[in-house]
Amino acid sequence: MSNEATTYNYKVVRQFAIMTVVWGIVGMTVGVLIAAQMAWPALNFDIPWLTFGRLRPLHTNAVVFAFGGSALFATSYYVVQRTCHVRLISDKLAAFTFWGWTLVILLAAVSLPLGITSSKEYAELEWPIDLLITVVWVTYAIVFFGTIFKRRVKHIYVANWFFGSMILTIAMLHLVNSAAVPVGLFKSYSAYSGVQDAMIQWWYGHNAVG
């Protein structure tokens, strides 16, 4: 066991796994609250940041990206190490993806209830947070594909093909749909308009959730 512990980076896997549970509980709790508000609207207590319109984006982002995203980080980091028979290419970069992703989630948890939003469903986060997401995701790609590159086995397991395609697909979806023109520190407008904006938004939305 000691040799295995020094061979693989289980710390970042454990961190993401724990946060998967934490964000799952948080996201689903918010979901229960907003579901209850549909029956009892007074549960918002006339507080702006507790209204359905503010909390619903928090719920969806928490479940899709905080809960689901953390689960994907944890499983991909575990699988790529075990199937490639090597440690992650960089412990520091792997740690950055964890803390960077956690920061993204915390910024979302603050900004969305305050009404700071781009108004694009499943892509509500404003441009400074979008930039942070891009940096974290590029780092994630470097760690994942770099680990595959230095693998000790010739074969690339099919799970890694799926994880790799997920990383590339999400990157493409995020970069295209989140293209925006900043007009302030907390405000931007989509680079697209009208029908084109709607088509790109739901090309992103359905693929991101899927």
pLDDT (tens digit, 9 = 90+) per residue, 174-185? 999 999 999 999
pLDDT computed for residue 1 by the predictor: 44
How much is the pTM? 0.94
For the record, the structure tokens of 146 come out as 């770099």
User: What average pLDDT does range 108-115 have in this prediction?
Assistant: 98
Domain boundaries, the chain: 2-209
* Mean pLDDT, rounded, of the chain: 96
In this prediction, residue 2 has a pLDDT band, given cuts at 50, 70 and 90, of very low
Please say if the pLDDT value at position 4 is more than 60: no
User: What average pLDDT does range 56-61 have in this prediction?
Assistant: 98
Please name the amino acid found at residue 200.
I
In CATH terms, is domain 2-209 a member of 1.20.210.10? yes
pLDDT computed for residue 77 by the predictor: 99
Q: What is the CA radius of gyration of the chain?
A: 19
User: What average pLDDT does range 176-203 have in this prediction?
Assistant: 97
206 Cβ neighbours under 8 A, 6+ residues apart? none
For the record, the structure tokens of 136 come out as 């974290």
